[in-house]
Amino acid sequence: MGGYGGTDLLKAASAGIRAPSLHNSQPWRFRLADGTIEVLADTSRQLQVADSGGWAMRLACGAATYNARLALAVISRPADVVLAPDSHQPDLIARLTPGPPRPATYPERNLFAAIARRHSHRAPFWPDPVPADVRVRLLDAARSEHAWLELLVGMTALTGFSEIAHSADRVLRRDLHYQAEMITWTDADSAADGVPSLADATVTEPQDLLPQRAFNDRRRAAGRDYEPEPLVGILGVAADRRYDQILAGQALQKVLLTATDAGLSASMISQPIEVPSAREQLRRSLRRSGYPQLALRLGYGQAGRLTPRRDVSEALVPVAARLP
């Protein structure tokens, strides 16, 4: 069997663009190159203030790569994947080459089906605890993609995380350039990117354990408090190079899809990763080797709505016209 073709590219990219990204910036592109599918970082969509180093862009592209892998697996054309294959092309995130054809496994089918349902869920969850077997599935999902997920157990660990997250949030709120950039990505309900005002974000109330992004100035209805003991997971990987951040993105997406498949909702919290001193504090508090890459809040919530995406055609790199 030959390389991938245009139809495979479209399937992979259509799944890829459903990945999460900081402020829904969608910093990815997909290219067909000699029968391989390449995932590229779109630096024109990189957040210049919040993500000057490109960490969030690479996480998003890693997550898009994981979705593309699933899309190719479910059409029985699973990919051999090389991450960051060319040191001379730093924007080249992954190259997917057809591996031996085989039918998709049940887990691959279930995770692929979850792509269309997964979305960030920022509203309060019900207080029901996440059962042990589901927690194990989440831990396994991270591990199978070369990452770790630290689930914070007990109020002491949660309060410690809460303090770090709130102090990072305060630093970012004081940064006028940061806030100005965020505003350009929020509240545009008609846009195909950015965070819509309807994405159930509300302002942080004094009793909230975790900080919310100031995406809008809406307040929660009285009595609609957050779950008192949320399940918070910190996703991390062994190091913090470009390659590791792509790995983290793939693992992030596998954890999120596993959560969706298990009926869980999730939101992402990155303030304590974006502020270097907070990230270092978080890293030390976890007492494990490696680097935290993102925090997740997981639980049972009412299904919300999907966040829009640009049309897939906008994320495809046109095949270069061949010379005769």
Ligand X SMILES: Cc1cc2nc3c(=O)[nH]c(=O)nc-3n(C[C@H](O)[C@H](O)[C@H](O)COP(=O)(O)O)c2cc1C
Query: Residues in the site for ligand X, rule: CB under 6 A?
Result: 20-24, 56, 59-60, 119-120, 122, 195, 213, 267-271, 294, 307
State the chain's maximal CA–CA distance in angstroms: 69
Q: Work out the angle between the directed axes of helices 55-74 and 106-115 (0-180°, nearest 10).
A: 130
The distance of closest approach from Cβ of residue 301 to ligand X in the complex, given in angstroms and rounded to an integer, is 13
The distance of closest approach from Cβ of residue 122 to ligand X in the complex, given in angstroms and rounded to an integer, is 5
Nearer to ligand X, 4 or 55 (CB): 55
Nearer to ligand X, 160 or 308 (CB): 308
The distance of closest approach from Cβ of residue 30 to ligand X in the complex, given in angstroms and rounded to an integer, is 17
Q: Work out the angle between the directed axes of helices 276-286 and 155-174 (0-180°, nearest 10).
A: 170
At 182, which amino acid appears? M
Question: How far is residue 216 from each of residues 157, 168, 310, measured CA to CA in Å?
Answer: 29, 19, 22
Coil, helix or strand at residue 115 = helix
Nearest residue relative to ligand X (C-beta): 20
Nearer to ligand X, 95 or 119 (CB): 119
Nearer to ligand X, 25 or 36 (CB): 25
Among the listed residues 4, 8, 70, 57, the one whose alpha carbon sits nearest the alpha carbon of residue 274: 57
Please answer whether residues 62 and 248 qualify as being in contact, where contact means their C-beta atoms are separated by less than 8 angstroms.
Answer: yes
Please answer whether residues 267 and 297 qualify as being in contact, where contact means their C-beta atoms are separated by less than 8 angstroms.
Answer: yes
The distance of closest approach from Cβ of residue 118 to ligand X in the complex, given in angstroms and rounded to an integer, is 7
Q: How far is CA 85 from the centre of its chain?
A: 21
The distance of closest approach from Cβ of residue 20 to ligand X in the complex, given in angstroms and rounded to an integer, is 3
Nearer to ligand X, 104 or 252 (CB): 252
The distance of closest approach from Cβ of residue 302 to ligand X in the complex, given in angstroms and rounded to an integer, is 14
DSSP 273-298: HHSHHHHHHHHHHHTSSSEEEEEEEE
Please give the radius of gyration of the chain, using alpha carbons only, rounded to the nearest integer. 19
Q: Are strands 36-41 and 291-299 parallel, antiparallel or unpaired?
A: unpaired
Half-sphere exposure of 147 (CA within 13 A, CB side): 32
The dihedral through the CA atoms of 44, 50, 53, 54 has a sign that is: negative
The distance of closest approach from Cβ of residue 234 to ligand X in the complex, given in angstroms and rounded to an integer, is 13
Nearer to ligand X, 24 or 281 (CB): 24
The distance of closest approach from Cβ of residue 102 to ligand X in the complex, given in angstroms and rounded to an integer, is 30
Nearer to ligand X, 21 or 281 (CB): 21
The DSSP 8-state label assigned to residue 120 in this structure reads B
Nearer to ligand X, 64 or 104 (CB): 64
